[in-house]
Structure 1
Amino acid sequence: MQRSQDGCCLFQDPLFPASLASVLGSRPFRPLEPLCEGLSWRRPQDICPCPRLFPDKAQEGQVKQGILGDCWFLCACAVLQRNESLRAQVFPPGQPGWTEPGYTGHFTCRFWQFGQWVEITIDDRLPCIAGQLCFSRCQPEDVFWLPLLEKAYAKLHGSYELLWAGQVADALVDLTGGLAERWTLVESTGSPDTRIGISTPESEVFKRLMDLKDRCLISCSVLRSMEDASELGEFHAFVVTDIRDLGCINSEELVLLRIQNPWGRRCWNGTWREGGEGWTKLDKMDASDLLSQVQEGEFWVEKAEFLQRFDEVTVGYPMSEAGHIQSLHTDRWLCHTQQLSGSWVKGQSAGGSRNNSSFPSNPKFWLRVSEQSEVCIALLQCHKGPGNKRPRLDWAARSHRCVYEDPEASSADLKEKYTPAVGLHMWKVEKRRFNLLKALSESPVAGTKCHSYDREVHLRRILTPGHYLLVPSTFLKDVDGQFLLRAFSTGRIHLSEIKPLPGTAVGCMEELPTGAWERVQLTGRWESGKTAGGSRNFTSYHTNPSFPLSICDGLGNQNVKVLLRQHCCDNEINAIGFHVFQEASGIPRVSSQQEPVASCVPHRYAQEVSLQCTLPPGQYRVIPSTYHPGQEADFTLTLATRIERKPRQCRETLGQVLQELSVSHVMKR
């Protein structure tokens, strides 16, 4: 048992012991297992004679990756070198070092997890091979903040091996409690052969990076498999340490980026490598100055080469010492913040995406904006499993689906190990005259581009004062999960949850509100070349099936619910929707210029879609359609009309109100 200078026994962490179990964990995917022969655990004073926690100058503590594939985490760690207040948040000050009184062999680190800072205490026994650190280390090698932080992060996850592959953005959030955005440098098809120079919001990438380079961490990544990988490696993350605009050289704008490779070696064979032909374009003094700034593992890349060889940029939002976040887009400070947690519960509040008629059952939140503001809403999903364990990320998949490399796992196991795709949509509504189904049938004022398998997704908009309805959702319905909704704003805001009324249900036709309803069920078919006219975007729309709907006079406006269900296999689902048109007097036909009085759009890839609305007396036409012409399917259209009758009183029941259900019930007597 080792002892400190004052004779105390050095701490040994029983929850994360110095054993192979802390390295490998328990999952079948074990890339470290063949690399751990001869593994031993040593304290820093056993590795070098004079260990230090931090270097004298923060910039001198360059990160260097070992045999563990956690470049994503190490790149994010570089943010602590740029922000002293963040470093003090992650490493609480006052912890005695190895040569100081009070040292007992343990250190405490903090990580931001699901809305709060969590303390993780570890002993300082670090994994070594041949007497040297085998995972991360600093340059110089007598500095130990990085391997200690890596060990605490591994304990948080459950093992070192569970840090194998991930997203820089996730680690940045865990280390700062802030936000991080990912900007793609390739087209949405993900083809590395079709580069762009870059589209919105990426068209502003370099302008923004030039402004942000001294205030936040910038990382870039290669997201290609071994077949397409270059000397930069596959699925690898780097740090952008500097960006220089050198003006026009030979009538061409020249922008250079200095890139740091966590591997700790230069891996660049481009035109601006050391000794490359690119340097001949510059004055010798300027070239010498730029080359003198390159440290071990760094290299310069020209803008065009950067766009060609890298696939993605991750940028962490700058943070003030007070914890305020600065916008990446406008430079304004988002000083007003609020957060609320929620959950998707199968059969209750896990309604799935807008493709599903059960979408309105998802959790709902009010966002009150008091003054025109730049607002950023972040939806963070909580990972399942003990120790907040996270799956290995397949960066090659443009959907960013999380994948476990476990060929023996059952389909049920794999379902639990997937991180669900999540999205967030926002509607502006009049709170006092708010009708949920009507509001959700309209197009949202903002929404995520798609449901993403990322841990966190964002919405950013300039919002005018008023009330906004926020609906977070998973792509598939009945997917359980917890989430945290965070709102950041330049102006005053208030976020609150909308509590569902007891016993309320939204969605299918069988769950109509109480009262008497008259139903009509109609069948039809979309047939290519005949009745499959597609949506109103196409001139063939008028060929779609058309069904009459009559609202009788004398009863005033009536509640109507329309449900359209297509009959096909799940893998053959079409995008479907419908419009309700009012007939012109005596003309049972809809003109091509006529606007609908109610619509169930956008068209959704779902077995069924529905809409509840209120219509005045008159004659109407309901026209169901697929989005594209020529798509065939049988369908059922159900029309339900609320029968409004005055309640009757009966003296024999002492004035209790009785409600007549329907005429047919009376006639049976």
Structure 2
Amino acid sequence: MPPPDGCNHNPHEDDVNSPTSPFNFLDQNYQELHQNCLAENTLFYDELFPPDDSSIGTLEDNPYLDPSLIVWKRPFELVSDPNLIVDGVSRYDYAQGNVGNCWFLASIGALTFEKDIMKQVMPPEQSFTQDYAGIFHFRFWRFGKWIDVVIDDQLPTYFDELLFVSSKTSNEFWPALLEKAYAKVCGSYADLNGGLMSEALMDFTGGTHMYYSPDYNPPPADLWKIMECAFTSKALICCATNAATTAEEKEKLHGISEEHAYTVTGIFEVTSDENPVHLVRVLNPWGKVEWQGDWSDESPLWDTVCEEVRTICHEVLNNGEFWMSVEDFTSIFYCIDICCSCPDFLDGSSECHWTSKRHFGRWNAETTAETFPQFRVTIDELNEECAIGQRPENTLVSLMQNHEKRNRMSQKYYNICFFVFEIPLEMRGQSGRFSAGFVNETEPVAQTDALAGFREVMKFFRLEPGEYLIVPCTENPGDTASFVLSIFSKNETHFEYIQETSE
């Protein structure tokens, strides 16, 4: 598996930073600010995310919360011995607070499994003891760019309890500080209310995102095997439920919450009465409330497996984590997100390594159906190692939009999609854009399954060696937003933006 900063990446000229050389968010330089505080013997005060109502935002889901009773305190004002981390980072360290950001916390649960990625997001050598100055920093990948986010350690409290994410160990503060840094990026704590797991997963890794859902990308028959390979290969996996609309749908939930995000924390095969059973372990970010069906903590089915397996897998604890069969898992969880540095895991033990290309583009008010951006992709022959991979798909295309507004909840994503057309032999090598006639009259060889108002849409498919045209679109020509178009491939790939031709 390649290192956490991604596939063998050939960057576009604008994509020159990395987790180790990020851009300073809001032009705040952590090293300079930290050293200034130490030199002046002061604690950092973040004027760009101040301890007041503007950083909280409007918490519409909590009408009984009295904003006048919110008090911002530093950790040493809450406990006598604050620590960033106590006994390592764990998925059991935290529980959700007074904002609907289960999508973000479920993603943190997945993040805790991957220590290298965790260090990438939360740089080491920060503490409440050595060189403490009330300042911390975190790193996220936002719309194709790594950013370093500086915060002070003042946290909102309500009757001396943390208002938002809380630690189960009272003197451990990494979850609250990580949440604050992400809230700063998104505009406020209230801007974390509601979202898709894929947003945080991608912002943690800057990698490849795959999702499966009935409406947009139905899960394949071998989903459990894909998840097993992904989990073994250090991918982050989350899942979410939809609203239950019928009595039958509500009945089969058996303790699973509607419209809620969860973390996938384990994949395991057991033998039950001589029959193989594929299990998935799932964590509720609330830190409680669990599945009550087959293979749950108190299910009698655990008596049908050997004692060794029960020792490894079976715990009866009300910690929000539970096992279930993959059949129950896929029937209840509507969306499954897998995010990894690179999709190499899809080829099992193959020596093939995927590569990635990325381009930053823009739709503007003058964009019409005839002038959507166009990209030429040349797919080379597979080498022998890649040709023996386990899956036929060899290409993943991702289209991510960015309205460039500070407050996350103030921007509504456009319905977006992309089309992939094969370029005929007689048209290969031509310069300039392809005509509207070609685009309108040619059947695409691949496309997103539907126009979707998501931050990102993706499609996983096979392209034979040859030349192709990718056209990223908005539903309404003239919608204005920047976008990032990424292509991941296990073939050698040449990727270029087709410039407008002058008259």
Give the TM-score of the pair, scaled to structure 1. Answer: 0.61
Q: Does 1:20 align with 2:53?
A: yes
Where in structure 2 are the equivalents of 1:196-595 lying within 5 Å? 201-214=219-232, 215-224=234-243, 230=253, 231-247=255-271, 249-250=272-273, 252-283=275-306, 286-292=309-315, 296-317=319-340, 319=341, 325-327=342-344, 329-331=346-348, 334-346=353-365, 348-351=366-369, 360-372=370-382, 374-385=394-405, 387-390=406-409, 417-429=411-423, 430-432=427-429, 436-440=435-439, 441-502=441-502
SS of the equivalent of 2:314 reads helix
Q: Please give the per-residue CA displacement for 1:472-506, whole angstroms capped at 9, x wherever unaligned.
A: 00122222221111122223322221111236xxx
Contact 1:350 1:480 in 2 (8 A): no
Following TM superposition, by how much is the alpha carbon of 1:299 offset from its aligned partner in structure 2, in angstroms?
Answer: 1.7
Q: Which amino acid aligns with 1:87?
A: M
Residues 189-228 of structure 1: per-residue CA shift (max 9 Å, x gap): x9xxxxxxxx954212111112222321221211115886
Q: Secondary structure at the match of 1:349?
A: coil
Query: Partners in 2 of 1:180 and 1:55 — Cα distance?
Result: 31
C-alpha distance 304-115 of structure 1, shift in aligned 2 (>3 A): closer
Q: Partners in 1 of 2:206 and 2:430 — Cα distance?
A: 37
Which residue number in structure 1 is paired with residue 27 of structure 2?
Answer: none
Contact 2:208 2:343 in 1 (8 A): no
Q: Which residue of 1 aligns with 2:43?
A: 10
Give yes or no for contact 1:334–1:488 (8 Å, CA) kept in 2. no
Say if 1:42 and 1:126, in contact at 8 Å, map to a contact too. Answer: yes
Decide which structure has the larger Cα Rg and report it.
1
TM-score when normalising by structure 2: 0.80
Alpha-carbon offset, residue 124 of structure 1 = 0.4
Spell out, residue by residue over 1:126-154, the C-alpha distance to the aligned partner (whole angstroms, 9 max, x if none). 11122122211334332221111110111
Give the strand-richer structure, 1 or 2. 1
Compare relative contact order (CA 8 Å, sep 6+) and give the higher one, 1 or 2. 2
1:31 aligns with 2:61: yes
Distance 1:338 1:302, change over 3 A: closer
Alpha-carbon spacing, 1:283–1:218, altered in 2? closer, same or farther (3 Å): same
SS in 1 for 2:44: coil
Contact preservation (8 Å) 1:60, 1:139: no
Question: Pairwise mapping of residues 84-233 of structure 1 onto structure 2 (< 5 A)?
Answer: 84-95=115-126, 97-100=127-130, 102-184=131-213, 187-188=214-215, 201-214=219-232, 215-224=234-243, 230=253, 231-233=255-257
Report how far residue 289 of structure 1 moved.
4.3
Gaps of 5+ in 2: 1-36, 387-393
Residue 398 of structure 2 aligns to which amino acid in structure 1?
A
Shift of residue 41 of structure 1?
1.4
Structure 1 position 106, deviation (Å): 0.8
Contact 1:383 1:390 in 2 (8 A): no
* Kept after mapping to 2: 8 A contact 1:427/1:439: no
How many residues were matched structurally? 443
Instruction: State whether residues 188 and 407 of structure 2, in contact with CA within 8 Å, keep that contact through their aligned partners in structure 1.
Output: no
Amino acid at match of 2:416: V
Q: Deviations over 1:550-572 (max 9, x none)?
A: xxxxxxxxxxxxxxxxxxxxxxx
Mapped to 1, the partners of 2:266 and 2:115 lie a distance apart of: 19
Could you tell me how far apart the structure 2 residues matched to 1:304 and 1:79 are?
22
User: Aligned-residue CA RMSD in angstroms?
Assistant: 2.8
User: Structure 2 CA distance, aligned partners of 1:345 and 1:129?
Assistant: 45
Instruction: Give distance in 2, aligned partners of 1:426 and 1:61.
Output: 43
Letter of the structure 2 residue corresponding to residue 364 of structure 1: Q
Task: Tell me what 2:99 maps to.
Answer: 68
Give distance in 1, aligned partners of 2:354 and 2:330. 34
Q: Distance in 2 between matches of 1:139 and 1:226?
A: 34
Q: Give, in whole Å, the separation in 1 of the partners of 2:91 and 2:218.
A: 36
Residues 222 and 310 in structure 1, CA contact (< 8 A), matched pair in contact too: yes
1:39/1:306 CA distance change after superposition, 3 Å: same
CA–CA separation in structure 1 for the residues paired with 2:313 and 2:92: 20
Q: Find the residue that maps to 1:78 and give its secondary structure.
A: helix
